[in-house]
Structure 1
Amino acid sequence: MPDTRFITEFDQYLFGQGTHYDLYNKLGAHPMTVDGEEGVYFAVWAPNAEAVSLVGNFNEWDGNATPMERLEPLGIYEIFLPEMEIGDIYKYCVTTKAGYTILKADPYGFQAELRPNNASVIADISDFKWQDSRWMKKREKFDDKKDPMFVYEVHPGSWKKHEQTEEDVDGFYNYREMAHELAKYVKDMGYTHVELMGIAEHPFDGSWGYQVTNYFAPTSRHGSPEDFQYFINYLHQQNIGVILDWVPAHFPRDAFGLAEFDGTCLYEYADPRKGEHPDWGTKVFDYGKTEVRNFLICNALFWLEKYHVDGLRVDAVASMLYLDYGREDGQWVPNIYGGNENLEAIEFFKHLNTIVKKRNPGIVMIAEESTAWPKVTDKAEYGGLDFSLKWNMGWMHDFLEYMKLDPYFRKYNHTKMNFAMVYAYSENYMLVLSHDEVVHLKCSMIEKMPGSYEEKFKNLMAGYAFMTGHPGKKLLFMGQDFGQHREWSEERELDWFLLEKEPNHQLQLFVKELLHLYKSNKCLYEYDCWPEGFEWINADDGDRSIFSFVRHSASGKNNMLFVINFTPVERPDYRVGTTCRRKHTLVLNSDDKKFGGKGKRRPKEYKPVKKECDGRKYSIQYKLPAYGVAVFKF
């Protein structure tokens, strides 16, 4: 090695403090020229190892051939190898204090082999020519409280597949072709963002990407890192945001991964009562170690800054916050105050979210947090975790329980649909109907619905309309916008052939209409996080199972009145109160023939009359069909 090392004392100082936010530029494998010689510099953190060497095809995987040099005080091993090239594969051969050797993939490696192989691949991600400057400039001003967000959740491996052959047994789309196909669909439908499951490299398809072994490597199932950069770049050019699922809660035990990396519990808590998830069989990151926190925070920044990703949906937040999550008595250790809160994870979230937002204005940090933990989206200085948005799991559970009911019994469960407004502004919420709700015998969205085949589609249209009008940003899993009948499986593509069937096509058209209505009317998103944006007209019409409410815009113009009937009973003389006497224009009618309705002619404009209804001075009369949805603009 030259005297001037690539890893400096200052690098080690920042790493030890947990504040080396660009550490991925130092650790890992980096092509470079040293003293006029081209090669690759390697560096890995393994403080408790007896020795570390580099192995690969270049030295016939001989653990004695290429020893690395140890740097103190942090125990980083480094080496520069001339003539190594992009595309070469490698691992670290770690000799433990106990005297045995283990082969480990690079924790900071930018690329990994396609499973079942698991070596790291030398990659250079600095040469891609980004062409999304207009999007990135606009992103700086994005406000996740006031701007529209209707997210399309996608599992890239099963959204669409090629016909499987002997040469292509998986049928996976490449990132580049997926970019064009997906952007076309998302733009046509009207979604604002896509959220990608399973991008960081993982060995087991059935984990859906939630058991990560290579945190800095986009999965090779769909191509190279450059291909993934192209994917992001193209979606940005098409005015579509990209959110990634991110998993800092746990990692698998695979021998080549992070588990017992240097022969000791380096990345995980050493005490199994803190360091292992009994239900999942995975390891838990040690949030008390500055170097581990640094690894995770710089990984989040890596995706946001090097790949231009627009936000992260942080998986399994509750499992990180609670020391007793998924554990029985005797399986967990209380904190220093005797409580079940993981104080180290709390500080990690505050650090993560504040630095990420400071360095990247306009990005979105979303918490999948399933409990009543307070202040998830409040500022860190006020005692909050500083997330941008929180998945509203309470709304989701109540909504699905209500929608699954036979309409006759909905009147006895009316509060399931209006209860969420009691706490709607306690956090900044995102309403979600995610992949978790259409697997493991839970049924697809359409098959959750009661009634005849035709009624299932009418029910789901009413449910989606309620979701669109309800305060909160939105997320819908792929396939549910056209009524996929089978539960989702990562092993096959969506049942796109269903779009040849009239009911599925009509449902898709209805969702498309909702999405474009949503994006083009500020009243449906700019006041999501403030009570001024929503007003019940009648939240208590349980006997008829009808909900009516108004969404207000900040300007007072282009407000919307929603009326939704959740029973198969037609209400030809239905009267609904309204907030003013101005003309109301019917902008969405589920009884339209294109949505599978009867197509009865009805006026487009309605003038409120001075007739009390729902406690309002003015009201309009409307022939409300069975399972009818009517949206008026005024």
Structure 2
Amino acid sequence: MSEPVTAFSMFSEFDIALFRSGKHYKLYEKLGSRTVEVDGEHGVYFAVWAPNANYVSVIGDFNGWNSAEHPLMVRWDESGIWEGFIPNLSNGTHYKYHIGTATGEKLEKADPFAIRTELPPRTASIVDTTWYMWEDQDWMDRRYDKNALDKPFSVYEMHIGSWMRDPADPERFLNYREVAERLVPYLQEMNFTHVEFMPIMEHPYYPSWGYQITGYFACSSRYGSPQDFMYLIEALHQAEIGVILDWVPSHFPGDAHGLYRFDGSHLFEHEDPRKGYHPDWKSYIFNYGRNEVRSFLISNALFWLDRYHVDGLRVDAVASMLYLDYSRNHGEWEPNVFGGNENLDAVQFLKEFNEAVYTNFPSVQTIAEESTSWPGVSRPTYQGGLGFGMKWMMGWMHDTLAYFKEDPINRKYAHDNMTFGTVYGFHENFMLPFSHDEVVYGKHSMHYKMPGDDWQRIANLRALYAYMFTFLGTKLLFMGSEFGQTAEWNVDQSLDWHLLDYEPHQGIKKLVSDLNRLYRNEPALYEKAFSPEGFQWIEMGAREEGVFAFLRKGHDAANDLMVVLNLTPVVRRNFRVGVPFLGEWESIFNSDDPIYHGSGISQSIVNAEPTYWMHCDQSISIDLPPLAGLVWKRKSKVK
């Protein structure tokens, strides 16, 4: 027979007060399981929040999953926390909580704070530690500068399980350490500044891509241990690459072992399905008005920043949190106390989340996937905003892809799609996203969104990326798009790396690498990325010609860049473009360059003439390659 449970607590009265008020942001130091020593005995302390349970015990491989052998004790302070110490247990112990509900149900639940789980489809929690001998202090000391809003921020979004599989066994996932061996040199070659991992928190259903989470504090055991994942993050940091995690506080699935009806009641979710059930995703919405739930979620955010040295959190589906009527018909939602459709509890939660993150980790960034015109998403809370560092520019993404999908002969009718973004582009700190959502479910790969024959598709894609990397804001590109993956993303298999045997795909890969280098090396592209002072249209009315020209500006006018796009398959010789300065202008990037599998129409240096053009006192005459983006920089000043 196993040792009996001993009364023991890691909670102070202050901890309980913070928890019950929704202000305990380090619950991962208290709830869950951890190895401790009590009165000279080594064992494991368990603590779980189940306020409406009649009985809670720990079941596991150490007691034959016997629900009667190791009951926990409920605290006297009405916090709803059950806890206890079981001697002679250690890391590696498999367990769950057996919960007897007020209605007589017997539930078996995984630990909401478990930091490791069994390999799905098995669902037990595993006692483990997040101890790791980190060797990334140099990065941590300098990441405030690397993550700053006036520095280059180019993100490679990826799904670990389908980025690359074992070449010898395509069914086998690479583990976190194997991913590190391949990913780090690849991102260095591609010159991305950051990588964003789609949700790596434990999720039982692999095709959910990680967005249906049951283990919020556990990195997926499909790819290894917590320390294996830390090794991957450390390797990225040592290579000067920041790490962003996709975080999902918007909903959770109804799996029997998960958060849903955790103690027999609607503990984490709303009881009213008009507030607590998400019709699109068949999942459950957190009750942001419940103090303990806010503590759980904010603690989870800080856990990844603290224990895993993560550099940012991209928050999924923010719009679904903000609006009570999101994806609901009339009569399927309940207005707030003022009669509006805003979820006031969610608004307050998001503000508290961002305040907690930036207070405790001022050198990180939070990024909102928010698809509406909600004001101030990326403005500080003291200015009435939600407090995010950046927001995905979903409108720009939709407008841009709508333009590029058109046959060039019809693009003049969609011309305004390319210019409308600057009407609202400085209301937020925008990130330009070409994400996973755009290459699935019949939307086609980025390659096959483009019109024309094979050469034109590739040329269009090169021009699109040239536009993206030289436009306002920061950048995000989904894996495979950087080399022109032709098939839609399939979570069940590796990317089609064999495409890199072909010159057109080699050209796109080289182009993205060079665009990232250009973005990182040219201050005009990032110093004023969110300010109207950093952008100026020069030509936005050449509808018939399909030509656009704009200036990008930094702190020093000597570094200003002129970007010219010709988005038709017609070569335009001697096209005149206004420039702000006389002197020599040098072509520093041309997406039509032969090294990118382009046609090679180019000029190296042109002299600005004192000819008034496009509201500029001087201008240059240049040849515009077909379906291409050019970047020009002043080479010398007139003496």
**8 Å contact kept, 2:589–2:632:** yes
Q: Which stretches in structure 1 are left out of the alignment for 5+ residues? A: none
Matches of 1:41 and 1:498, distance apart in 2: 52
Matches of 1:141 and 1:466, distance apart in 2: 26
Paired residue type of 1:621:
S
1:10 matched to 2:11? The reply is no
**8 Å contact kept, 2:212–2:251:** yes
**8 Å contact kept, 1:92–1:106:** yes
Quote how far apart the aligned CAs of 1:144 are: 3.6
**8 Å contact kept, 2:150–2:528:** yes
Task: Give per-residue Cα distances to partners, 1:157-194, cap 9 Å, x unaligned.
Answer: 000001475xxx84111111111211111111110000
Structure 2 counterparts to residues 345-384 of structure 1, below 5 A: 345-384=346-385
**8 Å contact kept, 1:52–1:77:** yes
Structure 2 counterparts to residues 94-109 of structure 1, below 5 A: 94-109=99-114
Task: Give per-residue Cα distances to partners, 1:259-305, cap 9 Å, x unaligned.
Answer: 00000000001111100011211000000100000000000000001
1:145 matched to 2:146? The reply is no
Task: Give per-residue Cα distances to partners, 1:533-555, cap 9 Å, x unaligned.
Answer: 11111011111001111111112
Q: Which residue of 2 aligns with 1:448?
A: 449
Quote how far apart the aligned CAs of 1:557 are: 2.3
**8 Å contact kept, 2:202–2:214:** yes
Quote how far apart the aligned CAs of 1:4 are: 6.0
- 2:29 aligns with one of 25, 28, 34: 25
**8 Å contact kept, 2:603–2:623:** no
Task: Give per-residue Cα distances to partners, 1:431-458, cap 9 Å, x unaligned.
Answer: 0000000000000001000000110000
Quote how far apart the aligned CAs of 1:623 are: 1.3
Distance 1:142 1:511, change over 3 A: closer
Paired residue type of 1:64:
A
Q: Which residue of 2 aligns with 1:269?
A: 270
Q: Which residue of 1 aligns with 2:510?
A: 509
Task: Give per-residue Cα distances to partners, 1:216-263, cap 9 Å, x unaligned.
Answer: 000001100010111111100000000000000000000000000000
Q: Which residue of 2 aligns with 1:79?
A: 84
Task: Give per-residue Cα distances to partners, 1:105-144, cap 9 Å, x unaligned.
Answer: 0000000111110100110112x11111111111234454
Paired residue type of 2:136:
D
**8 Å contact kept, 2:397–2:434:** yes
Matches of 1:385 and 1:633, distance apart in 2: 38
Structure 2 counterparts to residues 300-339 of structure 1, below 5 A: 300-339=301-340
Quote how far apart the aligned CAs of 1:521 are: 0.8
Matches of 2:325 and 2:347, distance apart in 1: 15
Quote how far apart the aligned CAs of 1:629 are: 2.0
SS of 1:574's equivalent?
strand
**What's the % identity of the aligned pairs?**
48
Quote how far apart the aligned CAs of 1:361 are: 1.2
**8 Å contact kept, 1:218–1:228:** yes
Q: Which residue of 2 aligns with 1:46?
A: 50
Paired residue type of 2:95:
Y
Higher alpha-carbon deviation: 587-596 or 238-247:
587-596
Quote how far apart the aligned CAs of 1:572 are: 1.4
Matches of 2:6 and 2:481, distance apart in 1: 58
**8 Å contact kept, 2:533–2:553:** yes
SS of 1:489's equivalent?
coil
SS of 2:583's equivalent?
coil
Task: Give per-residue Cα distances to partners, 1:304-345, cap 9 Å, x unaligned.
Answer: 011000000000000000001011111111100111100000
Q: Which residue of 2 aligns with 1:630?
A: 630
Q: Which residue of 2 aligns with 1:573?
A: 574
Paired residue type of 2:144:
E
Matches of 1:163 and 1:444, distance apart in 2: 23
Matches of 2:283 and 2:317, distance apart in 1: 13
Matches of 1:335 and 1:164, distance apart in 2: 56
- 2:133 aligns with one of 108, 129, 132: 129
Distance 1:113 1:143, change over 3 A: closer
Matches of 1:35 and 1:311, distance apart in 2: 40
**8 Å contact kept, 1:353–1:385:** yes
Matches of 1:100 and 1:599, distance apart in 2: 72
Quote how far apart the aligned CAs of 1:582 are: 2.8
The alignment yields a C-alpha RMSD, in angstroms, of: 1.2
Quote how far apart the aligned CAs of 1:150 are: 0.6
Q: Which residue of 2 aligns with 1:414?
A: 415
Q: Which residue of 2 aligns with 1:115?
A: 120
Q: Which residue of 2 aligns with 1:616?
A: 616
Q: Which residue of 2 aligns with 1:473?
A: 474
Matches of 2:8 and 2:274, distance apart in 1: 43
SS of 2:499's equivalent?
helix
Matches of 2:6 and 2:127, distance apart in 1: 21
SS of 1:527's equivalent?
coil
1:155 matched to 2:155? The reply is no
Task: Give per-residue Cα distances to partners, 1:529-587, cap 9 Å, x unaligned.
Answer: 11111111101111100111111111222211111100011101211111111321111
**8 Å contact kept, 2:7–2:84:** no
**8 Å contact kept, 2:559–2:633:** yes
Q: Which stretches in structure 2 are left out of the alignment for 5+ residues? A: 635-639
Matches of 1:295 and 1:357, distance apart in 2: 17
SS of 2:481's equivalent?
coil
Matches of 1:617 and 1:628, distance apart in 2: 26
Quote how far apart the aligned CAs of 1:3 are: 6.7
Structure 2 counterparts to residues 159-170 of structure 1, below 5 A: 159-163=163-167, 165=169, 170=171
Paired residue type of 2:585:
H
Higher alpha-carbon deviation: 146-155 or 13-22:
13-22
Paired residue type of 2:103:
A
Paired residue type of 2:65:
W
Matches of 2:592 and 2:351, distance apart in 1: 49
Q: Give 4+ residue runs of structure 1 displaced > 4 Å after superposition.
A: 1-4
Matches of 2:103 and 2:319, distance apart in 1: 36
Matches of 2:622 and 2:167, distance apart in 1: 50
Q: Which residue of 2 aligns with 1:282?
A: 283
Paired residue type of 1:14:
L
Q: Which residue of 1 aligns with 2:404?
A: 403
Q: Which residue of 1 aligns with 2:522?
A: 521
SS of 1:347's equivalent?
helix
SS of 1:345's equivalent?
helix
SS of 1:58's equivalent?
coil
Q: Which residue of 2 aligns with 1:89?
A: 94
Matches of 1:615 and 1:470, distance apart in 2: 21
1:234 matched to 2:239? The reply is no
Matches of 1:73 and 1:38, distance apart in 2: 29
Structure 2 counterparts to residues 218-233 of structure 1, below 5 A: 218-233=219-234
Paired residue type of 1:607:
N
**8 Å contact kept, 2:9–2:84:** no
Task: Give per-residue Cα distances to partners, 1:192-221, cap 9 Å, x unaligned.
Answer: 000000200000111000000000000001
Task: Give per-residue Cα distances to partners, 1:491-547, cap 9 Å, x unaligned.
Answer: 000000000011111111111111110111111011011111111110111110011
Higher alpha-carbon deviation: 363-372 or 6-15:
6-15
Matches of 2:528 and 2:324, distance apart in 1: 36
Matches of 1:325 and 1:179, distance apart in 2: 39
Matches of 1:348 and 1:628, distance apart in 2: 45
SS of 2:516's equivalent?
helix
Matches of 2:415 and 2:441, distance apart in 1: 27
